[in-house]
A and B are shown apart, each in its own frame.
Chain A
Amino acid sequence: MSNTLTADPSAPIKKNYLTGLKEAIFEEMEANPNMVCMGEDIGILGGAFGVTEGLQEKYGSQRVIDMPISEACIIGAAVGMALNGKTVLCEMQFIDFISCGFDQIVNMMATYHYRTAGEVSMPIVIRGPAGAYSGGALYHSQMNESWFLNSPGIKVVCPCTPSDAKGLMRAALRDPDPVLFYEIKNLYRLGKIEEEVGGADAIIPLGKARIARKGHDLTIATYGQNVYHCLDAAGVLSTEGIEVEVIDLRSLKPLDMATIQASVAKTNRFLAVNEAPMTCGFAGELVARVTDTCFEHLDAPPARLTRMDTPVPWAKALELHVLPSIEDIVREARRLVKY
């Protein structure tokens, strides 16, 4: 919360991404007495990144639970609480550790509503810091959303602005279905994206994409920190006379196909960019859907730009080598426009 001491009290207060999340969590805890938060080090410490700082002090250790290092138990217990009427927010200290709770997520939580023929909903949000480009190495850099997108019954959200972080978290915590909430840790305290995040009524429905930049030569669909890479690339391309439309998906499931289709109908070219590995990743899914539904609009084969099919290595040069870069995006965009 870096902007609490602004010189001009009437000036709009800009807040960072982490503050957006934090406000959403505090406001929902206040509005919903049936909400419980669970995670490792989220209470006494306030979370490894400070997202839940002050939460336990305000709402007590019964509702803000410092959990043992047991991801499967965190998710499983959340399922039990949801079965007994609670709304639960679970923190994965890093989203990478979600693999330790995998069975409870895909088999227990995600299928509960289905298995019970709609008797039991699972209002659970699992949030955690995600993403590479930060020297986190193999186990603190992952974007593993496609594991869960391939598991029916889970919604997946990934905001990249402070106001989306807040508004989508509010919506996720009011959703009757389980939501995986990918927070981009590189954006938590990034000063240049600070903005007003809205008040207590700031709720952004899941499944609505945002046009981050308008253009007519190429549609790029992306999410997370890749949105900023694509915007930077679009700036470069604009100087060459190529106008790129950048769509920030915000939510991968539900997916706003209508916004993508309208854009492709206008630009006739499509590129999906994400930092997850290529094979069976979400970029491939986007390409498939655009191929299926926009074929007659396309003037070039729809393409994807992703991480190589590798883990995320540690040393900076290695890491950047396997991840999509601004230069990669520019090159790929030029290729598609010239095709």
Chain B
Amino acid sequence: MASTVSSPKRGTDTGATQRPQDLLTKEDHLAVLQQLYLARYFDVRLIKEKRRGRLTGTLYSSHNQEAILVGSLYGLKSTDWISPIHRDMPAFFMKDMREGWDRPSRKGMSIEDLCGQVWCKATSPGRARDNWSHIGSREHHIIHSTSMLAGTIPVAAGVVYADRLNGGDAVVLTYNGEGSTAQGVFHEAINFAAVHKLPVVTIIENNFWAYGTPNHLEYSQEDFARRADGYGIPGTVADGQDVFDVYDKVMEAVEYARSGKGPSIVECKTYRAYGHGDHDDDRAARYRPTVDESVTYRQMLEMGRQRDPISVAKKRLVELGYLTAEDATRYAAEGKHATQTTDEDFPPEVVDYIKRGVDAATQAATPPAEEGAMWVFREGQP
């Protein structure tokens, strides 16, 4: 997948070929692979829990889109902000992982907190008041979304406007499905950010589908990067299957934003692994060019057996000599349907980490019923 930089304002053509990923160490590369497993396993676990009827609400799987989350989050500072949406569940616990993902002193939201939310428990940072991805945390700099697609982009712009007034250098990453780019507020917010050169990086997870509507019925421009031209801001296309390409493109956008030059759009091209949500998995066949589900799932993998983000990352690590060919085959989650994987397909420390969250959540209490009527206003119902 070719990457393009559509705006003349970026990519200063100095002939320098060093990419942000070239500055990553061996440890970084291994950590990135580890995080891909973490994101995948978290999703796999939720799919399985949901199928066993242990969860309420709808799961929008992030399977096959993990490289976008891991690659974009890896370079952030803990003072930076993010606004994940429905398909980005792993982002909540994966922000601020660079400083040591398994360290208790880590700044980000804990897996226990996130699982508290998914399991509808009082341990959720939002005390289970709105579902799944609609949590956030001012402390961890995660913006709380609503269901209304693209609705968090103006909020993100306001957050960094305020940060700048306070003398901060925070950048905000907003995550958006390509479908949400058709919302009016998407335009309003990016236009505002562009006018004030606000450090807003708009990540578009283009997974070809918006629920049941394919790309060609959603927008008419080939790349969203071109839409950036209309705002006078840079736009880039990243290979959404390649975590290091996402890292490069997002890091460039983040540094550009942090240095005061303004917002940009990074489109990450990918493909949705299943139906829109687990509620329409049985209709997933409709989302493929053929009607046979087993064939179509294979087709997706055909497009990407080597294009599974975990495979792509492993290949790179082997090339770099950071992973032996033998190590690369130790775990075999890639290219498998979630229900076909077992815990043995993942590194044990990854399984343990997620298990900690699940165990804590299943043991936690549900919030008391009367909380349903609380917190409409600061001081009770007037």
Given contacts A103-B151, A108-B148, A117-B127, contact A80 B158 (CB under 8 A): yes
Given contacts A70-B192, A76-B153, A153-B377, contact A103 B162 (CB under 8 A): no
> Contacting chain B: which of A18-26, A83-91, A215-223, A263-271?
A83-91
Interface string of A66-88 (1 = CB under 8 A from B): 01101011011111111111100
Closest to A178 in B: B377
B363 within 8 A of A: no
Interface string of A92-122 (1 = CB under 8 A from B): 0000000000011001100111111111110
Please tell me if the beta carbons of B155 and A80 are within 8 angstroms of each other in the complex. Answer: yes
Interface string of B154-178 (1 = CB under 8 A from A): 1111111111011000000000000
Please tell me if the beta carbons of A107 and B371 are within 8 angstroms of each other in the complex. Answer: no
Closest to B145 in A: A108
Please tell me if the beta carbons of A76 and B378 are within 8 angstroms of each other in the complex. Answer: no
Q: With the chains together, A107 CA to B151 CA distance in Å?
A: 9
Please tell me if the beta carbons of A177 and B378 are within 8 angstroms of each other in the complex. Answer: yes
Please tell me if the beta carbons of A81 and B158 are within 8 angstroms of each other in the complex. Answer: yes
Q: With the chains together, A117 CA to B122 CA distance in Å?
A: 10
Residue among A63, A86, A155 having the largest count of chain B Cβ atoms under 10 Å: A86
Q: With the chains together, A165 CA to B184 CA distance in Å?
A: 34
Among A72, A113, A119, the residue within 8 A (CB) of B376 is A113
Q: With the chains together, A152 CA to B58 CA distance in Å?
A: 25
B195 within 8 A of A: yes
Closest to A77 in B: B158
Closest to B191 in A: A68
B382 within 8 A of A: yes
Please tell me if the beta carbons of A253 and B382 are within 8 angstroms of each other in the complex. Answer: yes
A137 within 8 A of B: no
Q: Which residues of B contact A153 (CB under 8 A)?
A: 376-377
Please tell me if the beta carbons of A68 and B192 are within 8 angstroms of each other in the complex. Answer: yes
Among B126, B157, B161, the residue within 8 A (CB) of A117 is B126
Q: How many residues of B contact A (CB 8 A)?
A: 44
Interface string of B180-195 (1 = CB under 8 A from A): 0000110011011001
B143 within 8 A of A: yes
A207 within 8 A of B: yes
A36 within 8 A of B: yes
Q: Which residues of B contact A79 (CB under 8 A)?
A: 154-155, 158
Please tell me if the beta carbons of B154 and A72 are within 8 angstroms of each other in the complex. Answer: yes
Given contacts A114-B375, A176-B378, contact A78 B185 (CB under 8 A): no
Q: With the chains together, A119 CA to B162 CA distance in Å?
A: 18
B226 within 8 A of A: no
Given contacts A76-B153, A104-B154, contact A115 B165 (CB under 8 A): no
Q: With the chains together, A117 CA to B135 CA distance in Å?
A: 10
Please tell me if the beta carbons of A84 and B151 are within 8 angstroms of each other in the complex. Answer: no
B98 within 8 A of A: no
Interface string of A120-161 (1 = CB under 8 A from B): 110000000000000000000000000000001101000000
Give the A-B pair count, Cβ closer than 8 A: 141
Q: Which residues of B contact A104 (CB under 8 A)?
A: 151, 154, 185
Given contacts A73-B185, A81-B162, A104-B185, contact A115 B144 (CB under 8 A): yes
Interface string of B120-161 (1 = CB under 8 A from A): 000001110110001011100001101110011111111111
Interface string of B306-350 (1 = CB under 8 A from A): 000000000000000000000000000000000000000000000
Q: Which residues of B contact A70 (CB under 8 A)?
A: 188-189, 191-192
Q: Which residues of A contact B195 (CB under 8 A)?
A: 68
Given contacts A77-B154, A114-B375, contact A108 B165 (CB under 8 A): no
Please tell me if the beta carbons of B154 and A80 are within 8 angstroms of each other in the complex. Answer: yes
Please tell me if the beta carbons of A119 and B377 are within 8 angstroms of each other in the complex. Answer: no
A62 within 8 A of B: yes
Min distance, Cβ B109 to any Cβ of chain A, angstroms: 13
Q: With the chains together, A121 CA to B376 CA distance in Å?
A: 10
Please tell me if the beta carbons of B377 and A177 are within 8 angstroms of each other in the complex. Answer: yes
A54 within 8 A of B: no
Q: Which residues of B contact A82 (CB under 8 A)?
A: 158
Q: With the chains together, A336 CA to B138 CA distance in Å?
A: 54
Please tell me if the beta carbons of B162 and A114 are within 8 angstroms of each other in the complex. Answer: no
Closest to B168 in A: A84
Among A77, A177, A254, the residue within 8 A (CB) of B192 is A77
Min distance, Cβ A286 to any Cβ of chain B, angstroms: 15
Residue among A68, A72, A79, A86 having the largest count of chain B Cβ atoms under 10 Å: A72
Q: With the chains together, A113 CA to B162 CA distance in Å?
A: 19
Q: List 18 A-B contacts (CB under 8 A).
A: A36-B165, A62-B165, A70-B192, A73-B154, A73-B185, A73-B191, A77-B192, A80-B158, A80-B161, A81-B158, A108-B146, A111-B146, A112-B144, A113-B376, A115-B130, A116-B129, A116-B144, A116-B375
Chain A residues engaging chain B, CB cutoff 8 angstroms: 36, 62-63, 67-68, 70, 72-73, 75-86, 103-104, 107-108, 111-121, 152-153, 155, 176-177, 206-207, 253-255
| Closest CB pairs A-B (n = 3) | A80-B158, A76-B154, A254-B382
Q: For the A-B complex with A103-B148, A103-B185, A254-B382 known, give 12 more contacts whose Cβ atoms are closer than 8 Å.
A: A36-B165, A73-B185, A76-B153, A79-B158, A80-B156, A80-B159, A81-B162, A83-B143, A84-B166, A113-B377, A115-B129, A115-B130
